[in-house]
Amino acid sequence: MNHRTQVGIVGAGPAGLFLSCLLARAGIDSIVLENRSRDYVENRIRAGVLEQGTVDLLNEAGLGARMRREGLAHAGIEIRFDGRGHRIDFRALTGKAITVYGQHELVKDLIAARLAEGRPLHFEVSDVAVEGFDAGAPLIRYKNDGESNEIACDFIAGCDGFHGICRPSVPQGVLTMYERSYPFAWMGILAEAPPASKELIYAHHERGFALLSMRSPTLSRLYVQCGPADDPVQWPDERIWDELQRRAATSDGRFRVRQGAVLQKGITPMRSFVAEPMQCGRLFLAGDAAHIVPPTGAKGMNLAVADVHYLAQALTAYYRSGAMDLLEGYSARCLRRAWKAQRFSWWMTTMLHRHPEDSPFDQRRQLAELEYLTGSEAAMRSLAENYVGLPLE
C-alpha cells in the first residue's frame, strides 16, 4: 500500500512523538512508525528529570496538563560525600527548577494527544527501511500486519534511538562517530517505597556512587554503581538495599533508605556517543539516534526534546516560506547543545563515581573537587545552570 505525507517519523519515543505533535500544531502532516507495541513504549521505564526549558516547551504546546498535576517540582538536589549532605539550591542560584516526571508518563501523554487528533501512528511495524533521502526523494518502506507499505515524504525524521535503522542507513563516510565507554555501570531498581528524600541525592562513597531518585510519592528510582560486566543475578534485592544504605549514610547515622517491593531491576551501561552531522540530505537524526549521554547529568530526554524543537522550527519555516536556512543549520544548532550536555554529563560522572584505575592521589583530588563545588557559590551556580538546562537558542 502506498502512502504520502510531508514528514515520515521513524520511532515513537519522546523525540518522534513530540515532533509529531509540534508539526500537527503547525499544520504539517506526518506519519509515525514504531516497531514496538504501544504497551511496551508506554511502560518502558527511562529518564525522569525534565529541565525547565523542556517543561516550558510542553506547556507551550498544550501537552503539560497531567505533568503539572502529577509531576514533582524540585528546586534543588543534594550532593552527599564524607557522610555530609550539601544542597544545591537551583531556585536561588538560577531562578529555575526541574520537574520529576517519568519518560513513560510523558510518552503516554504524547500518544494520547496524537491519537486524539486522529493522526497516523502505527505500532508493531517491521522491516522498516529508509531510502532516497540523499537523492531528494525520501521513501520509507515497512510492513504492518504482514502487508508491505511505502511512504513517500518530503523529509524523514530518524527518532528511532541508538539501535535504530536510520543512522546506519546513512551512506558510509558521511558520519563521524565520537564515543567513550566508562569502566562502570548502574544497577537500578524501581521500588514500591516512598522516596528517602524530597529531592534527588547524588552520593559519592568509597564503595561507589549511588543515586536516590523517585518517580512519584510512592515510587523510588534508585541506583548503585556496579561493574559494566555485572549481571542482575549478582545483585539480589538484599545486596542492593545494603549498598544503598551504606553509600548514602550520613555521619550521624540517622539517614535511612526506605525499602519496599522491587518492581523492576536492570543494569544501565555508561557511555557517551555523538554522530556528526545529524543530517544527511533529507534525513534528520534526533535524540538517541544522534547522541547518548551518561545518565548522571539527566540530559538524554531533554536533548531529544530540544532536537525536535529545533527540527519543528526548521520544517515550519520551510513549509511557510520555502526557507532552507534552518534546515541546513539544524545539525550545527543541535550539536552545540549536545556537546555542552556531553561536557556536563562527563563532569558529573567523573566527579561522583569511583574509577577502578584511580590512585590515592586521584581519590583525594576527587574529594577536593567536591569540597570546592559545595563551598563555592560560583561553582554551585555553574552546576545549577547546566542541570536546570541551558537556554534554548
What are the residue numbers of the active site? 74, 202, 295, 299, 387
Say if residues 22 and 309 touch (Cβ distance below 8 Å). Answer: yes
101 three-state secondary structure: coil
> Rounded CA gap, 23 and 28, in Å?
5
Write the DSSP string, 266-282. EEEEEEEEEEESSEETT
Q: What are phi and psi of 30, to 5 degrees?
A: -150, 160
Residue for grid cell 560560583: 378
Residue 340 grid cell: 555542552
| 356, 184 Cβ separation under 8 angstroms | yes
Find out whether 140 and 103 touch, Cβ atoms under 8 Å.
Answer: no
Residue 338 phi, psi dihedral angles, 5° rounding: -60, -40
Query: Are 84 and 251 contacting, i.e. CB atoms less than 8 angstroms apart?
Result: yes
- Residues 65 and 70: their CA atoms lie apart, in Å, by 9
